[in-house]
Structures are given as structure tokens and as C-alpha cells.
Structure 1
């Protein structure tokens, strides 16, 4: 089944350097994204409410973005990516999240989940 790709942009008042630490390191991801995060090489294990999900880190560009591929969805093109974007004129910083939902009906709730996670990140870093 074809998954539905979606993207959301969330402004955030923080330096790209600091943000990058929070989207790329297991210990910092654990502070806002999941209850527990472990990494062994390129394989990250995320734990939410006792449930484990594994993803491979497929792209990592310093101060720019990280992209993960869930191991359970290896037979499709889906991934999730968190990209740091800085407006050339205003220097405003935003996080661009790209992810996939199983069906069209899940896109809005998935976006809401990401917004809640990013709110948690903002709270964690005081942005």
C-alpha cells in the first residue's frame, strides 16, 4: 500500500547548531522525541511506552538534517526527516519535518503528534 507523504514547517527560536544536537544525538532525542533512545552504529532504537521501534540513520548532515528509515518499512520508500532551515533574509529558523502516514485519514493526527513533539523540544531547549 502506498503511504501518504506530508511535510510541516515549525518556526523555532534556537541556533541551528544547538538544534542539530537535539535532532541527531540519542541522548538529546531522548529528551523530547522518545522515552528512551539507543544507537548502535546507524541503527537507532526508539522506545515509547515500552514499545520499541528501530530505524536506520540514512542521512546525517551537520547543522542541516537527519533522515531515518524505519526498519519495519524497508519495502517502501517511506522515511522521516527533520531538517533545519534558516531564512536567508530574516535568519528565522524553522524545523521542516517530512514523514509518511499509512493512509490519508491519519495525516492530520500524525502532524498533530509532530507538533506536540516539537513543542516538547521547544520546552526542553527554552525556545
Structure 2
């Protein structure tokens, strides 16, 4: 098994943490930009894209700060991986800084980064920023 390495991406968004909370942590919000459909049962999130389905367990969430999941496939393989979206407000500019943390194998990192860039582009369209 190839080792996955952590990476972080940072985005500046012109929105409020309250709007971001809804878009990052609710099924309705996530299905506006992250996946076609999102079903949440307890701490299990099921994401649907183009006929495929992936499940992730919610690890932690704090309104106005972050949300963190682990893909079930990684959990079953006992990998210490997760994907997290943290957000803070820049005190000077009042913009929201969204930091995405994720893991990828070296050979897949460029593809995963492009996927996040596309997803965040969709998020920007939803918030109008």
C-alpha cells in the first residue's frame, strides 16, 4: 500500500462563517457545491457523484471553525487520514480564509488538488464570490 501524504490548500472567500457553516456541514449545503446529493445519518455522510457513492465518517465539527471527516475506505485500511475544512476570519480584511487539509498518494496529488480547485470554484459560485 502506498503512503498518503497530507497537503493543505488555502482559499480567500468573501462570505460569512455562518453562510460557510451551512454550506460545509449540512446535506443541503454540501449538495449545492460538493456533491450531487448528500445523505447524513448520525455521523455518517454519504456523498453521491455521477452514479458513484462514497461514505465518510464525521470526526469533528465546530460551528464557525471547522469540519473534519474520514473516508470509510481509509478507515477500513486503518489509514490515519482525513479531510478537513477549517475557516477563520482575517481580522484586517474581514474575509474568510478556508484551509482544506487532505491526503493523497504522490501519484494522485495533482489530480486531487485539481478536484479541490474545481469544488472550491463551485463553492465560490454558490456564495457569489
- Shift in Å, 1:69: 0.6
Unaligned regions of 5+ residues in structure 1, if any? none
Q: In the alignment, is the contact (CA less than 8 A) between 1:33 and 1:117 conserved in 2? A: yes
Q: In the alignment, is the contact (CA less than 8 A) between 1:5 and 1:100 conserved in 2? A: yes
Q: Distance in 1 between matches of 2:47 and 2:85?
A: 16
Structure 2 counterparts to residues 69-84 of structure 1, below 5 A:
69-74=70-75, 75-84=78-87
- Shift in Å, 1:4: 1.3
Relative to the length of structure 2, the TM-score reads 0.93
Please state whether the residue corresponding to 1:110 is helix, strand or coil. helix
Aligned residue in 1 for 2:117: 115
- Shift in Å, 1:91: 2.1
Q: Distance in 1 between matches of 2:110 and 2:93?
A: 29
May I ask how many residue pairs the two structures share in their alignment?
A: 126
Unaligned regions of 5+ residues in structure 2, if any? none
Relative to the length of structure 1, the TM-score reads 0.94
Q: Distance in 1 between matches of 2:59 and 2:33?
A: 21
Q: Following superposition, which runs of at least 4 residues in structure 1 exceed 3 angstroms of deviation?
A: none
Aligned-residue Cα RMSD (Å) equals: 1.0
Q: Distance in 1 between matches of 2:108 and 2:89?
A: 29
Is 1:12 matched up with 2:5? no
Q: Distance in 1 between matches of 2:116 and 2:4?
A: 17
- Shift in Å, 1:13: 0.6
